[in-house]
Amino acid sequence: MKLFESIVRQGPLTTLPEPETVRIPLSCHRPDIKCGQKMARGIHIGGGYYAPISGTVTEVHPTYICIKAEAVDEPSPRDMGALSGNELRTALNDMGAGLPEGPAQTLIINGVEPEPGVTAFAHMLDELSRIVQLGLSTAQSVFSPNRTVLAVEAGASQSLDGCEKAAIENGYPNGIDPLVAKAITGMENPDNVAVLSVGRLFELGMIMDTGLPCDKTVVTCGETDFVTTVGTPVDLILTTAHQTVRHGDTVVLGGLMRGEAAHSLQQGISKDTYGLFVVPKGQYPPVEDSPCIGCGECIPVCPARIDPATISGYAEFRMYDKCREHDIDACMECGMCGFFCIARRPLLQYIRLAKQHLAQADTCKLNDQGEG
């Protein structure tokens, strides 16, 4: 795979028809929902997930719920046009937007494709510009920035009205939020800066446009970008994109560097899924439970300038405090370390595991202090 090449857009944007059945992925939430229950579009399921279509709940699983399309009386959409400032932010967050806090002097719109091989953002800017533009004015109303900058890859033609444009050097991981913020402001983790991706603007625009939580996402699959309904089974998108999946292949939701492997072809996509890839069995050497050989390949490629080799070693032996001493907090989870690891260690997984343990430990500590 070529990591350091600028992405060329292929094919027009295609809208997939609404699927008969959707599976909405949930991460470890126990929704207060029963089988057979009628569900209207836009209803909150739990944990920031909303029903993307109206229908009957046919299956409730710890990781997803399944809704079969059926006509159901829908609640009237909320009129978002009259709101502004903090009211608007609260309303948007109520619909699952999850915006960062506070006003910001600089609002950065990250239009750099999130992963190699994804072209969804360029398509949104080109062909869904009305929605994205609506999202931009909404974000401006929420953050009231002095300066709004659209970050795009060097050589990209896309633009947004009311935005300065900044070119970001081609190649992953230059387009991830902290690095884009640094390229534009010159500072690392600057204060008073909010970074929203073009995908997020699309979500805001959809909420404003429909008065309902966003139930569409643009997914790159194969040669085409699809506008799809959240919860659409992976199977359906792959078939439409003429992608064949064979026994033993890996299907990746999101991107090849940071995404998540699908466990089933019936699995639905989430609103943050921007890409869908099939990695044929045997294309890359398999991940192994092998020791770090200290080659140092992961170190020069780490944009956070930390030492993934040492951190993963500590995580491997559950010495999570040591991970913090070695600045695991600075990690941006770009996956570059794992890409270059010649021992094929699951470096990003070790880092995510350690981060999760540390976060849990911190929560316990806070609770203890609260009780004491």
Partner 1 sequence: MEPLTPTLTVSTPPFAHCGKTVNKRMRAILLAMLPAAALAVYHFGMDAVRVMSLATATAVIAEFVSDMVMGRTSQVDDLHGFTVGLGFAFLLPASAPWWLVVFGSTTSIVLGKMMFGGLGGSPLCAPLVGWAVCSLSWANHMDIDAAMLTSELTYPLSQLKHFGPQAVAGFSLNDLLVGRQLGGLGAVQTGALFIGGIFLSMRKHIKVAVPVGMLAGVLVTAGIFHASNPQANAPAMFHLLTGSVIFGAFFLATDSSSSPMRKIPALLYGLLAGVLVVIIRVYGVYPDGVPYAILLANLTSPLLDRIKPKPFGRN
Among 248, 368, 369, 370, interactor with partner 1 by CB under 8 A: 248
34 in contact with partner 1 (CB under 8 A): no
The answer to whether the beta carbons of residues 98 and 142 sit under 8 Å apart is: no
Out of 164, 209, 272, 307, the only residue in the binding site for partner 1 (CB under 8 A) is 307
Q: Which pair of structure tokens corresponds to residue 10?
A: 């292929």
Q: How far is the CB of 327 from partner 1 (least distance, A)?
A: 4
Token pair, residue 330, equals 């600075």
246: contact with partner 1 by CB under 8 A: yes
- Per CB under 8 A, contacts with partner 1 among 131-160 are none
Cβ atoms of residues 108 and 196 within 8 Å: yes
- Is residue 251 a contact residue for partner 1 (CB under 8 A)? yes
Question: Taking CB under 8 A as the rule, does residue 241 contact partner 1?
Answer: no
Quick note: the x/- pattern for partner 1 over 187-216, rule CB under 8 A, is -xx---------------------------
Q: Is there binding between residue 339 and partner 1 (CB under 8 A)? A: yes
Q: Quickly count: other Cβ atoms within 10 Å of residue 74's Cβ.
A: 12
Q: Is residue 176 part of the contact set for partner 1 (CB under 8 A)?
A: no
Token look-up 């999570």 returns 320
DSSP codes joined into one string, 225-272: EEEEETT-BHHHHHHHTT----TT-EEEES-TTT-EE-S-TTPBP-TT
Longest dimension (CA), the chain: 61
Least Å from the CB of residue 292 to partner 1: 5
Judged by CB under 8 A, the chain residues 2 through 31 that form the site for partner 1 are 3
3-state secondary structure 223-234: CEEEEEECCCEH
Q: Which of 76, 244 has the CB closer to partner 1?
A: 244
Q: Does 64 bind partner 1 (CB under 8 A)?
A: no
Q: The tokens of 312 are what?
A: 């993963």
When asked if residue 130 is in the footprint of partner 1 (CB under 8 A), the reply is: no
Alpha-carbon distance of 351 to 342, in angstroms, equals 17
- Say which residue the tokens 């033609």 belong to: 157
In 61-180, the DSSP E strands lie at 64-69, 106-110, 147-153, 164-168
Size of the site for partner 1 (CB under 8 A): 63
Interacting residues toward partner 1 by CB under 8 A: 1, 3, 116, 178, 188-189, 245-252, 256-265, 277, 279, 281, 284-287, 290-297, 299-300, 303-307, 309, 327, 329-330, 332, 335-336, 338-344, 346, 348-349
